[in-house]
Copies of this chain bind each other. A is one copy, B any other.
């Protein structure tokens, strides 16, 4: 059996949780997972179901390696810092070369570090099945989530010819739909959310990248595993700055003919906003989610978070109030998918 690796992508900024998330404490390091753990810690737990720690690599921004390393503390997984952010295609390509160098014929799973999944057993079974398929055939396996709502913030995968239970060819990847289209897709049953979780063989992935994005595959193919992560990081310093910054979806999956989609049997949420997070948190009798040093007087259906200070709300309905790290955000819960606008505007003013 081919060796199985896991790549955890932990480079995201997660501005949507500003002011809780900051450049030095992005979403994946916040205690957003069930039980107050970080999403990264929760992702590592799932990764270690798939592979032993020495075959789990967490890739993140170099300036986050210390913080990410602390969060991985004691697990024995490896943390690699990217010298500059170059989106997912470059990171996954580099990992493919690394893993293939360590174990010829290896396959690996790609797991975003900032999603929420609770059913670890179903996750392990589904991923195991994907490794099995990817080791038998030269295919790229993506995970699709059955839509629960007409979400306009996700990419969708249209299923093609069925191959086995929950496993299909991919008819096409699609951009984020408008509301009307999202509602059609929700009822059609033909579409799945693109969860950004993948399984493939190293060689299969590099061949697909070579076919669709040779300018990216070339420099990445020149990387070589020389026995140490530090040595590999030094090679990344040379290669990464000149690479195209593009997602693996755009660079590879939308072009490759050999993409399959496996409909997940596990729960999944990208926790893309305060409202998405709040849905999974315990509520008080008036529907409020209170976290940390938070105080709600005569409030209903509010999210109040106090981290490193007191957040108090009085007489509010359907609002988010966050006090964290010397800043405060207040908005309607229904606007919480636009928090990035605030963090960008505040940053443009020169405040962190």
Contacts and interface: CB of A to CB of B under 8 A. Distances in A.
A322 B330 CA distance: 10
Contacts of A309: 326-328
Q: This chain: how many copies in the complex? A: 2
- Chain B CB count within 10 A is highest, among A326, A329, A351, for A329
A314 interface: yes
Interface string A302-346: 000010111111111001011100111111100100110110011
A335 B314 contact: yes
A299 B178 CA distance: 26
A11 interface: no
Contacts of A308: 326
Contacts of A338: 314-315
B312 A342 contact: yes
A349 interface: yes
B295 A346 contact: yes
Contacts of A311: 327-328
A164 interface: no
A100 to B, nearest CB: 46
B328 A312 contact: yes
A144 interface: no
A341 B335 CA distance: 28
Given A295-B346, A346-B295, A314 B339 contact: yes
A330 B299 CA distance: 11
Given A323-B323, A341-B297, A345-B295, A312 B332 contact: no
A266 B345 CA distance: 42
A151 to B, nearest CB: 20
Nearest to A344: B297
A339 B319 CA distance: 18
A323 B315 contact: no
A230 to B, nearest CB: 38
Interface in A289-305: 293, 295, 297
Query: Which 10 pairs of residues, A with B, have the shortest CB-CB distance?
Result: A323-B328, A309-B326, A314-B331, A310-B327, A328-B328, A321-B330, A315-B335, A330-B330, A311-B328, A313-B330
A81 interface: no
A19 interface: yes
Contact of A346 (B310, B315, B316, B351): B310
